[in-house]
Amino acid sequence: MIPKSKLKIRKMRVEDLERVLEIERISFSNPWSRNAFLYEIESDVSYPWVIEMDNKIVGYSIHWLILDEAHLSNIAVDPLFRRRGIGKFLLEKIIESVKKMGARFLTLEVRVSNTNAISLYTKMNFKVVGIRKNYYTNPVEDAFIMIKNFD
């Protein structure tokens, strides 16, 4: 486990995109485009973050807050830094942030085959509340809809 004191979370900037896209491409079979990340950086409802260790981006996330509903739309950690508590720490900070901003719950979608992510979300008290059929492409796969209520 990496000590939390070595990790820094900050807002994603345009100059971070090359590193973010590198992590995105090695993490997902159908990666987001540069334009998709640019849109999120400029959006009023989006909170794009990076997480750094020793001034190097090791992960990122994007979550939205619309009224009192929060949604985690993207999260990834560089494979070289996985299973060291970075993703959990980032998710804890997202939850803390959206709760402070008045969210009643946080939702997300996850590939049904992504057992590592599902395990993390379950440990953090997310519950499966539905399935989106054929939600993902390359390969086509269902998604679990998961939710964490704050009430």
17-70 confidence digits (pLDDT tens): 999 999 999 999 999 999 999 999 999 999 999 999 999 999 999 999 999 999
- Parse the chain into domains and list their residue ranges: 4-149
Are residues 90 and 61 in contact, defined by beta-carbon separation less than 8 angstroms? Answer: yes
Asked whether 85 and 79 are in contact (CB, 8 A), the reply is: no
Average pLDDT on 80-92 reads: 96
- What per-residue confidence (pLDDT) applies to 47? 98
Say if residues 84 and 1 touch (Cβ distance below 8 Å).
yes
Of 24, 47, 60, 109, which is the active-site residue? 109
Q: Is 121 a catalytic residue?
A: yes
Asked if 126 and 119 count as a contact pair (C-beta separation under 8 A), the reply is no
pLDDT of 4? 87
Can you give the pLDDT at residue 85? 95
What is the C-alpha separation between 130 and 28, in angstroms, rounded? 22
Q: Which one is catalytic: 47, 60, 121, 136?
A: 121
Q: What is the CATH number of domain 4-149?
A: 3.40.630.30
Q: Which residues pair with 148 in a beta bridge?
A: 106
Token pair 């540069």 in the structure block, residue: 34
Respond yes or no: is residue 109 known to be catalytic: yes
What's the rounded Cα separation, in Å, for the pair 35 and 40? Answer: 9
DSSP assignments along 45-114, one per residue? SEEEEEEEETTEEEEEEEEEEETTEEEEEEEEE-GGGTTSSHHHHHHHHHHHHHHHTT-SEEEEEEETT-
Query: What pLDDT score was predicted for residue 151?
Result: 79
